[in-house]
Structure 1
């Protein structure tokens, strides 16, 4: 089963070079499982036992199932579809020496720049194309080793191994081809040809550079996995797999995937938006509930904020907290932060540990080294709109925000089992504790 999960994850990542592809791939899977798409601009007529999903911006999704009887709250798992990368600017072609064609890009998120050099790259994203109805969205993924970022030889950059400051506008421009300006097919013509549209019909685009290296299983006993976008497609994949396999009860399971976490979440499709709140409110309204009923449902709900965590690095053990040191293949990580960069507290962590214990899943703890500022994730941001009890979790990994990250084979299965147990649980606040059904 472990290798089946790993192979499934690699296939999912390979088909998902951008957030738009992530959502489209999940949309196809949900449709095959009998889920119906809802549009935000239309009235929702929901049924008991119904299965639904709603998409915003083509890059964020909320999927849910309605129980056949009354329901007492929401069991929510939230993750994100984006990853640090290079985003193409408008009019991307830059000519050099009247021969080389480079592409003009900017950084998206906190990427490790050095990991993008000297490896096969390509381009994917969405095109907005003129049509008789107005504008049509077309996804494009060039399945070819199309670009490269060649390193400058060490003879010309003696400081490269002693600390180098990468400049996005100079160092990070990928090489696309050679030719004579005016005679060579333009880059946007190439994109149009791949999408089977006319270049003059393209009215807009959101295009990104992605790493072409396929996922791999490696190590002395095949204990490691490496791939691009493990942060956070490993959690997206785990949430989707557990959501689809969880057994029904009187809670509404919610599979939520936000976009733009890597750049702060403050977009209409990010965790700071009303997307999840709008969806949950409309579910309640569809069954005749009042505003007060909605608040009671929220009070009886819980969320897992699922975003990968830092494992102790074997070469840099001093960077980790002295007493909370997650290891690869040792279980799901619960993340804590004294300054509330993560949502976990004693109550939510205890509930999640109880669920994992019943499922036979080991857990670990991550806290930052107290002298090293850490990152944050979507849990606290989302709670500003949907104030449910939440615990921040993730899978331990190395090389976070590299173009090619590393994690553990066993942990993927641990996460899927833990999330399935969470979806099948129900929490209820008591006078002096939490009841877990």
Structure 2
């Protein structure tokens, strides 16, 4: 079964070269599942048993399914991010080199590993803002061809390249797109032609590089999956599947796909924004609740922040904690940090372990080496705005933040089953301050 799920995941990732495309891919899946799209600046009319979703910035998205027994409702929330480290094209992008080469001016988005971006076919995707009469419209861009390449410097010209290399993103990472024999507006013309619009109607854009490599199954038994953007579209895919398959009549299930996690989340569509709490508040008000009812619901709620974790590296085992070590295909990873960069505590861990046990899926515990600092997560960032019980989980992977990453093919199915149970569980705070799972 895991091989079929992996093929579905690869297709999902291929359809989602940027966060804008991930938003569109998820919307199509939700529409097929009978969800109704809401618009932030319109009035909402929600009803028990209803299924809805709302987008922010055409990149972030929140979907929710309302239970039918709402006397003691709470929110079961998953959070994952749809952006990935890459390179963003600057507004004035053309760079002419030696009167022969046409390069694109780019800057790094997030903490990308530079080396894997060299010597591989790349293309461009994102969104463009088009003026249509007196309206500004968003159009998705995806140049479906091998368009760019960042050529390496030959070993003959850099004899120390294999002894360690420091990359200058303004010099080394500029992609070659053509020759100066082309018209100086050739790149802009290509974007316009792909959208079937006049170049003068394109007022602005958010365009990114992406690797053309498709995901694939790897290993003697195809037990690994290799693909761009596994961090964090693997978790987006798994939590979405669990959300669609789960059902809790006494709960409101919420799927949150945030943008801009790789650059700190401090945008209107990021986890540090009020997008999530604003949506929860509107749901509460729309089904007849007041501020008091919202606070009661949040006290019984839980957020599962899903972002991939570092598997023990086969060539660098010493960089993992001596005992809290995680491996691909060994199950869902529960992440812990004494400094609370991961939000897991004893209560949230116990609640999620119970979900794994009910789903009959394996789970494992992860901490960073005590002398190595890990990254932040959506769980910790979301807590700035939504103060509820939270856990950080993920799936073990190698080559995180590379242009091509590696994960366990079985683990996607494990997370789907665990999240299905989570979204089928009603949580309720007791007088003793302990959440009861039913």
TM-score range (shorter-chain normalised) is over 0.9
The corresponding residue for 2:364 is 364
Q: Is the 8 A contact 1:335 1:392 kept in 2?
A: yes
Determine the C-alpha separation between the residues in 1 that align with 2:391 and 2:426: 15
Q: Is the 8 A contact 2:248 2:425 kept in 1?
A: no
Determine the C-alpha separation between the residues in 2 that align with 1:162 and 1:210: 28
Determine the C-alpha separation between the residues in 1 that align with 2:41 and 2:412: 37
**How big is the shift at 1:133?**
3.9
Determine the C-alpha separation between the residues in 1 that align with 2:184 and 2:344: 55
Q: Is the 8 A contact 2:96 2:180 kept in 1?
A: no
Determine the C-alpha separation between the residues in 2 that align with 1:304 and 1:386: 13
**How big is the shift at 1:68?**
2.3
Determine the C-alpha separation between the residues in 1 that align with 2:331 and 2:233: 17
Determine the C-alpha separation between the residues in 1 that align with 2:398 and 2:32: 35
The corresponding residue for 1:5 is 5
Secondary structure at the aligned position of 2:17 is classed as coil
Determine the C-alpha separation between the residues in 2 that align with 1:189 and 1:171: 26
Determine the C-alpha separation between the residues in 1 that align with 2:224 and 2:9: 13
Determine the C-alpha separation between the residues in 1 that align with 2:194 and 2:100: 24
Determine the C-alpha separation between the residues in 2 that align with 1:355 and 1:361: 9
Determine the C-alpha separation between the residues in 2 that align with 1:301 and 1:2: 31
Sort the Cα spacing of 1:136 and 1:179 in 2 relative to 1 into closer, same or farther, 3 A. Answer: same
**Which 5+ residue runs of structure 1 have no aligned equivalent?**
none
The corresponding residue for 1:175 is 176
Give the alignment of 1:286-325 within 5 angstroms: 286-325=286-325
Determine the C-alpha separation between the residues in 2 that align with 1:342 and 1:248: 27
Determine the C-alpha separation between the residues in 2 that align with 1:324 and 1:296: 36
Any idea what the Cα deviations from partners look like across 1:74-112, whole Å, max 9, x if unmatched? Answer: 100000010000000012111112221111000000000
Secondary structure at the aligned position of 1:12 is classed as helix
**How big is the shift at 1:435?**
1.8
**Which 5+ residue runs of structure 2 have no aligned equivalent?**
none
Determine the C-alpha separation between the residues in 1 that align with 2:82 and 2:324: 28
Q: Indicate whether 1:339 and 2:349 are aligned.
A: no
**How big is the shift at 1:299?**
0.6
Any idea what the Cα deviations from partners look like across 1:48-88, whole Å, max 9, x if unmatched? Answer: 11111010001100000112231510100000010000000
The corresponding residue for 1:92 is 93
The corresponding residue for 2:119 is 118
Q: Aligned-pair RMSD on alpha carbons?
A: 1.1
Secondary structure at the aligned position of 1:170 is classed as coil
Q: Is the 8 A contact 2:398 2:407 kept in 1?
A: yes
Give the number of equivalent residue pairs.
436
The corresponding residue for 1:136 is 137
The corresponding residue for 1:37 is 37
**How big is the shift at 1:246?**
1.2
Q: Indicate whether 1:388 and 2:388 are aligned.
A: yes
Q: Is the 8 A contact 1:217 1:224 kept in 2?
A: yes
**How big is the shift at 1:28?**
1.4
Q: Indicate whether 1:27 and 2:51 are aligned.
A: no
The corresponding residue for 1:48 is 48
Determine the C-alpha separation between the residues in 2 that align with 1:48 and 1:251: 10
Please report the TM-score for the alignment, with normalisation by the length of structure 2: 0.98
Q: Is the 8 A contact 1:98 1:180 kept in 2?
A: no
The corresponding residue for 2:234 is 234
Sort the Cα spacing of 1:246 and 1:278 in 2 relative to 1 into closer, same or farther, 3 A. Answer: same
Q: Indicate whether 1:353 and 2:353 are aligned.
A: yes
Determine the C-alpha separation between the residues in 2 that align with 1:68 and 1:351: 23
Q: Indicate whether 1:186 and 2:155 are aligned.
A: no
Sort the Cα spacing of 1:51 and 1:164 in 2 relative to 1 into closer, same or farther, 3 A. Answer: same
Determine the C-alpha separation between the residues in 2 that align with 1:15 and 1:128: 21
Determine the C-alpha separation between the residues in 2 that align with 1:161 and 1:347: 48
The corresponding residue for 2:437 is 436
Determine the C-alpha separation between the residues in 2 that align with 1:384 and 1:68: 30
Q: Indicate whether 1:104 and 2:105 are aligned.
A: yes
